[in-house]
Chains A and B, each alone.
Chain A
Amino acid sequence: MRRWGMVIDLDRCTGCGACMAACHQENNLTAAGPEQTRRDRAFHWLKMLPTESRLGDEVMTRYLPQPCFQCDNPPCVRVCPVHATYLNHEGIVGQVYARCIGCRYCMAACPYNAKVFNWFEPEWPGDMKRKANPDVSLRPKGVVEKCTFCHHRINRAKEEARVEGRDVRDGDVIPACAENCPTQAIAFGDLNDPRSRVSQLVSGPRVFRLQEDLGTEPKVFYLAEKE
């Protein structure tokens, strides 16, 4: 059984925002506009969290790209009254838009603020809809949405492997954020495969997760900076 996970190397991340933009384009997100953005209703499935700290004279700034952490123990799933969000057999926290009633309990439960709500009918002005990625559905107004680890890409990789009569190999699945990272800071793969790149990275000394004490068991790991 696979268990998909992501490792983000903060030693490599420059905070350029390419992952945010790639996610936006890949998953057919639309812009919320200036007014809604001011009300903190812009939706990014992947956000950039700036953190700052001082070490003596020196200031350290760090940018954490933050997708949905696809927790093994997801608080959002427990509170959903209609089973619109669930943990699938490969460890991805799914969101079934057709079931979602927009109550936003899951958003309140998520300690990482990873989910976003469609407050308004998504706007595709002019010819914009022509660029929509045909692999990803468009969401209606009134549902909660979130990062899926680009599960359409996982399905495509599985399909290709099946046609070629082989198993999915490490590196076959690359989410859009990882694919467009200029410094290859994002690795993706099967945490249950000890030879996968992510498994090797998470066994290193630089690994940490956000708010581990909550017991949510995120499957997105960060690697701290090297000295």
Chain B
Amino acid sequence: MALRGPGLVSEVESVCGLCPGACGLTVRLVDGLPVGLKGNPNHPLNRGGLCPVGLAGLDILYAPNRLRHPLRKHAQGEFRQVEWEEALGEISEKLKGIGTAENRGSAAMICGEPSSLFQDLAAQFMGWLGSPHLACTGQGNVLPFTLTQGLREVPAFDWSGADLVLSLGLDLFEDGPAPLHAASALIGARQTQDRARLLHAGSRCSLSASKADQFVAIHPGTHGALALGIAHVLVREGRYDSRFVTAHTYGFEDGRQDGEERLGFRRLLLERYYPDRVAQICGCPAAAIVRLARRFAQASRPLAIAGGEAAEGSNATCNIMAAHSLNALMGSFDKAGGVLNKPSIPLSPLPRVGGCDGEPSLFESAQGGGLLGTDPLEALSQAVSDGSPRLEVLFVIGDDPVGSRPGGSRVVQALRGIPTVIALTPFLDETCDEADWVLPTPVPLEQWEDATTPPFSALAVLGISRPVTGPLHSSRHAGDVLLDLSSRVAPEGASLPWGHYSDYLKDRLEGLSESGQGALISGSFEESWRRFLEDRGWRFRQHQGMDDFWSGILKQSGWWSPARPQGEGGQLFDTPSGRYEFFSQKLYRELLDRWGGLASSADAQQALGRARESLGLQGQVDELCLPHHEPPHLVGRGDLTLVPFRPITARGRLGTASAMVMEMFGHSVLSGWQPWAELSPETARRLDLEEGDLIGLQTISGQIEAEVRIRPGAASEAVHLPLGLGRIQAPGAETLKANPLNIVLDSRDPLSGALSLSSTRVQVRLVRRRPHGGPPPHLSGGEA
């Protein structure tokens, strides 16, 4: 062990940065070396506590298999270590050709960093290079909210203000965007306030299902149908907010659209989504649907949210629209405990550099697979194979497009078609194999870290911290690399106006300092909350000038402010009707435009019919533009459906670099270091499988092996596999080739173009019985 000196203990506040959850943490140092992490109880998101991946931060920092030097690929395909100077020098020479007129737009960037401040800098850099081709992955499916509310980003769900949260497929405590925020808001408050209820429906008995006051197990991909069944009961029994529905929604009653008959949402519900039919679709008792609906209606501030498996099927958009319609029926908009506009952080505006405003990004081209949305990597594959635009350079920052999605071989082909691929990452991943340059970036705790509001969150949060310890290896912050390249390429004055990423951060924060909004993270959470409530205008200054604010925000590790309702309706609905649209006019227009409806009603019907056919939709023609159930479209062979999920130990990209995380990878099913397959007791009996048996899961694109875990509550035709095991692994696990994405077939949601992960049929066969002395079977039959 290294000599430590006098052994002085200190603590500093920092932010986690390992996943989009944006938790605050406190680092314990001895003589300046970090030796412990704990959650920051003053942080408004996690309010103390960290998840297993966050707690593995030091394992990741000190991981022996971190990338230590820049690498360059040589002609024979092997990597050789190079100096930063050489790497940046050569890359900047390449970039010098990019700015010229004939090469405009021949650079592209894929950015998987969760921080929106970093994404802004990436956009600046690309703008400065004169290229609009930037894809920030992990944004979530915004299309359902565009169709119903006219939004361009996913709204916030104020689950801490709701007294009942109905989650359709979204495992809030495990796979949600901010599991610790959800846990502290929904569970942490259980003893101090009125108990907030949680209802959960899904095909897997997840952590959220286990915490729910009612868990309804349904078939995979039937979340939308369940939501409509609930809506049916609400409407039939008159338990909805009729004032809101009349004043602020469109398409509830039958009506006319361009002179034609239009089916109303009410009649659709009453005629087609009665509980007995929905029960048949979902595979749950009709009584459970009625019970869910009544509990939902009895709440004073109910909130429905869909995500997780509901948002990862071929019918993702329909599922989310159906779930969101429950919020519209209950009027849960623009009020505490409801759907709010995404909170904004008043940062300084960015300077205008370069000029590619309005130029289309290849990542948004219509070739990306969806009617009203695209999958950026599919669009990239298309662009490379068409040679339009011709790409010379691709940056991949903090993302692994090859290893983190099914059909990685298509991405591999695309990467091979681009002359220079530059990957920035702290660990070698599958994308690095296809890169020409691999540049090591630091991990959290040794770099400037900024973590902005996680998706769905109703709190505006900007966590920010300086490096806690010096970089252990020869790594550089991705932001510093971009700024360095910019200064090498451009003559003085024409480069981006910041020397280092920290200068950029300080510059952006000036706007925050001047706005006087929000507060630094400090004191007890309850105290600052009360202060916010007392001072509804929240315009108190805590600092004098920018330098004071800057040192304050670094000391406290962040700033936050709660989102607030903006006044009824109004800004929330930016649709053609200015209301919440059950009947989406945008979708209707798009379908007619694309499939050529003319003035007469018969033509419009035919056009919709053609649209339905070419999109492969199965809903009836008159319900296409309304929230409806689209039966999931399954591909491949086999009698079970593969439904992947992300356990909490798979959060972020880097967690599995920790041996501890690998060892507790399946802590909820007593498993470690390997994937497991969850089956329902009925399915296991039918296939003659027992707990701990090793099975092979076969699809037409490959096979992986996994140990059986029998989980009551799992849907009987589903087999659930954990995602997260891939190239980045702790030493000792090199032999594992267990990425379930390798056997997931490429399939997508025809409306949004988003990848569908749960559309693959799979065949299961026994490989080996559980060896004697293997993992112990579950305890069962506990007191209930």
Q: Which of B62, B188, B211 has the most CB of A within 10 A?
A: B211
User: Which chain B positions have C-beta within 8 A of A33?
Assistant: 659, 663, 673, 732
- In chain B, what residue has the closest Cβ to A29? B660
Q: Which of B49, B188, B648, B732 has the most CB of A within 10 A?
A: B49
Assuming the A-B contacts A12-B188, A59-B712, A182-B39, are A21 and B672 also in contact, with contact meaning beta carbons closer than 8 angstroms in the complex? Answer: no
- A18 contacts B668, CB within 8 Å? no
Alpha-carbon distance between A127 and B669 when the two chains are bound, in angstroms: 31
- A61 contacts B205, CB within 8 Å? yes
User: Which chain B positions have C-beta within 8 A of A59?
Assistant: 205, 209, 215, 217, 712-713
Which size class do A's interface residues fall under? 35 or more
A-B CB contact pairs (8 Å), 29 listed: A12-B187, A16-B179, A16-B183, A17-B667, A24-B55, A25-B55, A31-B660, A31-B732, A34-B674, A38-B774, A42-B663, A48-B667, A48-B668, A50-B669, A51-B779, A52-B712, A52-B778, A53-B781, A53-B783, A55-B784, A59-B205, A59-B217, A59-B713, A63-B207, A129-B2, A134-B30, A182-B49, A183-B49, A183-B187
- In chain B, what residue has the closest Cβ to A51? B782
Contact of A14 among B211, B288, B713 (CB under 8 A): B211
Confirm or deny: A108 has a beta carbon within 8 angstroms of a beta carbon on chain B. no
Alpha-carbon distance between A128 and B730 when the two chains are bound, in angstroms: 12
- A180 contacts B668, CB within 8 Å? no
Confirm or deny: A32 has a beta carbon within 8 angstroms of a beta carbon on chain B. yes
Alpha-carbon distance between A145 and B176 when the two chains are bound, in angstroms: 36
Confirm or deny: B173 has a beta carbon within 8 angstroms of a beta carbon on chain A. yes
- A15 contacts B183, CB within 8 Å? no
- A182 contacts B784, CB within 8 Å? no
- Tell me the B residues contacting A by CB distance below 8 Å: 1-2, 4, 7, 30, 33-39, 46-52, 55-56, 58-59, 61-65, 173-174, 179-180, 183-184, 187-188, 190-191, 195, 205, 207-211, 214-215, 217, 284-285, 288, 472, 648-649, 659-664, 667-670, 672-674, 711-713, 730-733, 736, 773-776, 778-784
Assuming the A-B contacts A51-B782, A53-B781, are A14 and B52 also in contact, with contact meaning beta carbons closer than 8 angstroms in the complex? Answer: no
- B1 contacts A132, CB within 8 Å? yes
- A21 contacts B56, CB within 8 Å? yes
Q: Which of A1-40 contact B (CB under 8 A)?
A: 9, 11-12, 14-18, 20-22, 24-26, 29-34, 37-40
- A37 contacts B781, CB within 8 Å? no
User: Which chain A positions have C-beta within 8 A of B37?
Assistant: 25
- A22 contacts B62, CB within 8 Å? no
Nearest-CB distance from B257 to chain A (Å)?
Answer: 41
Alpha-carbon distance between A54 and B1 when the two chains are bound, in angstroms: 51
Confirm or deny: A89 has a beta carbon within 8 angstroms of a beta carbon on chain B. no
- B62 contacts A181, CB within 8 Å? no
User: Which chain A positions have C-beta within 8 A of B649?
Assistant: 17
- B784 contacts A60, CB within 8 Å? yes
- B659 contacts A31, CB within 8 Å? yes
- A184 contacts B662, CB within 8 Å? no
Contact of A126 among B64, B179, B779, B784 (CB under 8 A): B64
- In chain A, what residue has the closest Cβ to B31? A134
Q: Interface SS of chain B: helix, strand, loop or mixed?
A: loop
Assuming the A-B contacts A15-B207, A16-B51, are A129 and B1 also in contact, with contact meaning beta carbons closer than 8 angstroms in the complex? Answer: yes
Confirm or deny: A62 has a beta carbon within 8 angstroms of a beta carbon on chain B. yes
- In chain B, what residue has the closest Cβ to A30? B659
Confirm or deny: A226 has a beta carbon within 8 angstroms of a beta carbon on chain B. yes
Assuming the A-B contacts A18-B49, A128-B59, A182-B39, are A49 and B211 also in contact, with contact meaning beta carbons closer than 8 angstroms in the complex? Answer: no
- A182 contacts B183, CB within 8 Å? yes
Nearest-CB distance from A25 to chain B (Å)?
Answer: 6
Assuming the A-B contacts A32-B663, A183-B187, are A15 and B214 also in contact, with contact meaning beta carbons closer than 8 angstroms in the complex? Answer: no
Alpha-carbon distance between A127 and B784 when the two chains are bound, in angstroms: 47
Confirm or deny: A57 has a beta carbon within 8 angstroms of a beta carbon on chain B. yes
- A62 contacts B210, CB within 8 Å? yes
User: Which chain A positions have C-beta within 8 A of B52?
Assistant: 16-18, 20-21
Assuming the A-B contacts A49-B779, A50-B669, are A133 and B49 also in contact, with contact meaning beta carbons closer than 8 angstroms in the complex? Answer: no
Alpha-carbon distance between A125 and B7 when the two chains are bound, in angstroms: 23
- A130 contacts B1, CB within 8 Å? yes
Alpha-carbon distance between A14 and B181 when the two chains are bound, in angstroms: 13
- In chain B, what residue has the closest Cβ to A184? B188
- Tell me the A residues contacting B by CB distance below 8 Å: 9, 11-12, 14-18, 20-22, 24-26, 29-34, 37-40, 42, 44, 48-55, 57-63, 125-134, 176, 179-184, 226
Alpha-carbon distance between A40 and B48 when the two chains are bound, in angstroms: 32
Nearest-CB distance from B123 to chain A (Å)?
Answer: 33
User: Which chain A positions have C-beta within 8 A of B733?
Assistant: 34
- In chain B, what residue has the closest Cβ to A9? B191
- B210 contacts A60, CB within 8 Å? yes
Alpha-carbon distance between A44 and B48 when the two chains are bound, in angstroms: 22
- A134 contacts B187, CB within 8 Å? no
Alpha-carbon distance between A184 and B64 when the two chains are bound, in angstroms: 33
- A50 contacts B183, CB within 8 Å? no
User: Which chain A positions have C-beta within 8 A of B781?
Assistant: 53
- In chain A, what residue has the closest Cβ to B49? A182
Contact of B730 among A22, A31, A61, A226 (CB under 8 A): A31
Alpha-carbon distance between A12 and B189 when the two chains are bound, in angstroms: 9
User: Which chain B positions have C-beta within 8 A of A133?
Assistant: 35-36
Alpha-carbon distance between A183 and B187 when the two chains are bound, in angstroms: 6
- In chain A, what residue has the closest Cβ to B659? A31
Contact of A18 among B7, B55, B711, B732 (CB under 8 A): B55
Assuming the A-B contacts A18-B49, A51-B778, A59-B712, are A134 and B205 also in contact, with contact meaning beta carbons closer than 8 angstroms in the complex? Answer: no
Nearest-CB distance from B534 to chain A (Å)?
Answer: 25
Contact of B668 among A22, A58, A63 (CB under 8 A): A63
- A21 contacts B664, CB within 8 Å? yes
User: Which chain B positions have C-beta within 8 A of A63?
Assistant: 207, 210, 668
Contact of A180 among B50, B59, B659, B663 (CB under 8 A): B50
Alpha-carbon distance between A133 and B288 when the two chains are bound, in angstroms: 50
User: Which chain B positions have C-beta within 8 A of A11?
Assistant: 190
- B49 contacts A128, CB within 8 Å? no
Alpha-carbon distance between A127 and B65 when the two chains are bound, in angstroms: 10
Nearest-CB distance from B84 to chain A (Å)?
Answer: 21
- In chain A, what residue has the closest Cβ to B285? A57
Which 5 pairs from chain A and chain B are nearest by CB?
A: A126-B64, A182-B49, A31-B659, A59-B713, A61-B210
Alpha-carbon distance between A42 and B49 when the two chains are bound, in angstroms: 24
Alpha-carbon distance between A17 and B174 when the two chains are bound, in angstroms: 10
Additional A-B contact list (5), CB under 8 Å, known A50-B668, A181-B48: A11-B190, A17-B668, A25-B56, A44-B664, A182-B51
- B667 contacts A26, CB within 8 Å? no
- A131 contacts B190, CB within 8 Å? no
User: Which chain B positions have C-beta within 8 A of A57?
Assistant: 284-285, 288
Alpha-carbon distance between A48 and B52 when the two chains are bound, in angstroms: 13
Alpha-carbon distance between A132 and B36 when the two chains are bound, in angstroms: 8
- In chain A, what residue has the closest Cβ to B288? A57
Assuming the A-B contacts A51-B782, A59-B215, are A127 and B62 also in contact, with contact meaning beta carbons closer than 8 angstroms in the complex? Answer: yes
- In chain A, what residue has the closest Cβ to B46? A182
Alpha-carbon distance between A223 and B119 when the two chains are bound, in angstroms: 45
- A25 contacts B660, CB within 8 Å? yes
User: Which chain A positions have C-beta within 8 A of B209?
Assistant: 59, 61
Assuming the A-B contacts A63-B210, A128-B59, are A53 and B664 also in contact, with contact meaning beta carbons closer than 8 angstroms in the complex? Answer: no
User: Which chain B positions have C-beta within 8 A of A18?
Assistant: 49-52, 55
Contact of B184 among A26, A126, A183, A226 (CB under 8 A): A183
Alpha-carbon distance between A37 and B660 when the two chains are bound, in angstroms: 11
Alpha-carbon distance between A12 and B7 when the two chains are bound, in angstroms: 37
- B660 contacts A21, CB within 8 Å? yes
Alpha-carbon distance between A129 and B663 when the two chains are bound, in angstroms: 18
Alpha-carbon distance between A133 and B649 when the two chains are bound, in angstroms: 22
User: Which chain A positions have C-beta within 8 A of B782?
Assistant: 51-53, 60, 62
Alpha-carbon distance between A51 and B661 when the two chains are bound, in angstroms: 22
- In chain B, what residue has the closest Cβ to A224? B783
Contact of B712 among A25, A54, A126, A132 (CB under 8 A): A54
Assuming the A-B contacts A11-B190, A18-B49, are A180 and B62 also in contact, with contact meaning beta carbons closer than 8 angstroms in the complex? Answer: no
User: Which chain A positions have C-beta within 8 A of B179?
Assistant: 16, 182
Assuming the A-B contacts A57-B288, A59-B215, A133-B36, are A182 and B188 also in contact, with contact meaning beta carbons closer than 8 angstroms in the complex? Answer: yes
User: Which chain A positions have C-beta within 8 A of B673?
Assistant: 33-34, 37-38
